[in-house]
Amino acid sequence: MPRPTLLPSEEPPENSAVQDSTRTGISRRGFLKGAGLTAAGTALLEGVHSFAAETTPSPQNGVTELGPGPASVHLRVNGTEHALEIEPRTTLAEALRNHLGMTGTKVVCDRGVCSGCTVWLDKMPVNSCMTLAIDAIGRDITTIEGLSAAGEMHPLQAAFVKHDAMQCGFCTPGMVMSCAALLERNPHPSEQDVRQAVSGNLCRCGTYPKIFAATLDAANRTA
């Protein structure tokens, strides 16, 4: 099924979400799609504002119309600005994988239940399959490729290798991003904290015990 486009004409007349969209040019459905992640609503709004600032208001009603064709946007990924031509419906995961060739971020369920596509927006982990790329404008996007600086593995990545916290490896980038984000906000997690942090990350090989062990080990080393 085609994803919703971003034309204001799609909008139902009176409701608060529409007022939001009138201000920013983001459709309610598009907005909700972007907001479909845990506790990310506020942060997303900020992204929406920066997007609005980048685009030109249309003369008639102050609404920026965008799409369905490609639009020029800039994304800041791992500290580097990238210019992209993307349709507004493009998810952040698609932009990273298909447009920027950064395929470390995996798409597994494509509906926000497995966290295989986890990246950070300003250090907050989000499901990039449920985030529109345009909602990430002006934010610091960190992907698995950006976690290891200058070829050195992040201590958590090193701990994953040491503890064999992977099998097929397909969930691994998402797991690493979730666990590294945990260590950013809580340098001394308990095992329960780790379980909580990856409670949305699915692994079919069943590597969870070693992911817990690796994350706790990394915390002990870096703390």
Q: Which residue, 21 or 142, is less far from other proteins as judged by CB?
A: 142
Instruction: Report how far residue 100's alpha carbon sits from residue 61's, in angstroms, rounded to the nearest whole number.
Output: 34
Query: Least distance in Å: CB of 73 to other proteins?
Result: 17
Query: Least distance in Å: CB of 32 to other proteins?
Result: 17
Query: Least distance in Å: CB of 51 to other proteins?
Result: 21
Cis peptide before 68 (omega within 30 of 0): yes
Q: Which residue, 1 or 39, is less far from other proteins as judged by CB?
A: 1
Angle between helices 41-54 and 28-35 in degrees, nearest 10: 130
Query: Least distance in Å: CB of 8 to other proteins?
Result: 21
Q: Which residue, 45 or 158, is less far from other proteins as judged by CB?
A: 158
Instruction: Report how far residue 90's alpha carbon sits from residue 109's, in angstroms, rounded to the nearest whole number.
Output: 16
Which ranges of the chain does DSSP label H, i.e. alpha helix? Answer: 16-24, 28-35, 41-54, 92-94, 144-147, 155-162, 172-185, 191-197, 208-222
Name the region of 170 (left: φ>0; alpha: ψ -120 to 50; beta: rest).
Answer: alpha
Alpha-carbon 47 to chain mean position: 12
Query: Least distance in Å: CB of 148 to other proteins?
Result: 5
Q: Which residue, 19 or 199, is less far from other proteins as judged by CB?
A: 199
Q: Which residue, 61 or 196, is less far from other proteins as judged by CB?
A: 196
Residues lying near other proteins in the complex (CB under 8 A) are found at 1-3, 87, 89, 94, 97-98, 101-111, 113-114, 116, 143-145, 147-148, 153, 157, 160-164, 166-173, 176, 194-196, 198-212
